[in-house]
Amino acid sequence: MTPPAPLLAARSLTLSRGGRELFRDLSLAIGPGDLVQLEGPNGVGKTSLLRILAGLSRYGYEGAVERSGALLYLGHKSAVKAQLTPRENLALHVGGEGSHGDAAIEGALAEVGLYGYEDVPSHTLSAGQQRRVNLARLYLCSSPLWLLDEPFTAIDRAGVGQLQSLFVQHVEGGGAVLLTSHQPLAVDYPVRALTLSQGSAA
């Protein structure tokens, strides 16, 4: 059966930052059912690559990226406004997806272990909890392609396990996940490792 149309296709990406060449002629395609982990030592350009693939960085690199369909990008920062409550953060999120009903928001917050915290101001939450508010969007949004930058940071072991099973469930449902992380994924699903070493992508 012909391979399904890729959700994301990048061709001969080349990026150098401050005179240092991070990667050259990197091409990749991510289709439905792909669970891809981007690995590599610090400073090798994983975040820069992810931002280019997401379409956040538009300048400073050569090569082309085509995306079909909507994507969800979760970056290092938690994108949670401290003065708003978790419910308001998710309801009024600037990510452009639709407005979620209260039930959906409460369900998502419960999934990430924030049951009961829906209406406390976010600045009273810990850093890990604030990241969980952002991760709750994984349960809310309908984009097939997820680009996640270090999703497990500041999340406890139970949370990490739950996230990994969510990724598998999403990928089996026809979605795709590209994430950067230093922790190996403990999932019984084929993980495509993409390691970025100095100057080229294996």
Partner 1 sequence: MWSFFHKLGSPPWLYGIAGSILRYLLPVTVIALVVGAVWGLLFTAPDFRQGNSYRIIYIHVPAAVVALAGYYVMAAAGAVSLIWRMKMADVAMKAAAPIGAALTFVALFTGSVWGKPTWGTWWVWDARITSMLVLLFLYLGVVALYEAFDNKEAASKACAVLSLVGMVNIPIIYKSVDWWYSLHQPASIKFTGESTIDSSMLYPLLLMITAFYCLFACAMLMNMRAELLEREAKTGWVRKLAAEGAH
Partner 2 sequence: MSTPPGAAAFCLRLVRRQLLLAFRRPIDIANPLVFFAMVIALFPLGLGPAPDQLAAFAPGVLWIIALLSNLLTSDTVFRGDYDDGSLEQLLLAPQPLYLSGLAYICAHWLVTGLPLVLISPLFAVMLNLPAAGILALALSLLLGTAVLSLVGAIGAALTVGLRRGGMLISLLILPLYMPVLIFGSACVQAAVTGVPTGPYLAILGAMLSLAIALAPLAVAAGLRISIDA
In the sheet that holds 61-67, the strands lie side by side as 20-30, 8-17, 61-67
State the nearest-atom distance from the C-beta of 195 to partner 2, in Å.
24
State the nearest-atom distance from the C-beta of 160 to partner 2, in Å.
21
- Tell me which of partner 2, partner 1, none is bound by residue 84, counting a contact when its beta carbon lies within the kind-specific cut-off of 5 to 8 angstroms: partner 2
Residues that bind partner 1 (CB under 8 A): 17-19, 59-60
- Tell me which of partner 1, partner 2, none is bound by residue 19, counting a contact when its beta carbon lies within the kind-specific cut-off of 5 to 8 angstroms: partner 1
Q: What is the DSSP letter of 53?
A: H
The Cα 79–Cα 51 span in angstroms is: 15
Is 78 an interacting residue with respect to partner 2 (CB under 8 A)? yes
State the nearest-atom distance from the C-beta of 197 to partner 1, in Å.
20
The closest of 21, 9, 95 to 52, measured between CA atoms, is: 9
Altogether, the residues listed in the chain come to a count of: 202
Residue placing its CB nearer to partner 1 in the complex, 61 or 139: 61
State the nearest-atom distance from the C-beta of 39 to partner 2, in Å.
23
Given a contact cutoff of 8 angstroms between Cβ atoms, the answer to whether 117 and 124 are in contact is no
Given a contact cutoff of 8 angstroms between Cβ atoms, the answer to whether 170 and 146 are in contact is yes
Judged by CB under 8 A, the residue of 27, 43, 62, 77 near partner 2 is 77
Is 124 an interacting residue with respect to partner 2 (CB under 8 A)? no
H or E stretch at 86: helix 86-91
H or E stretch at 164: helix 157-172
Q: Residues in the site for partner 2, rule: CB under 8 A?
A: 51, 54-60, 70-71, 73, 75-84, 88, 92-100, 140-142
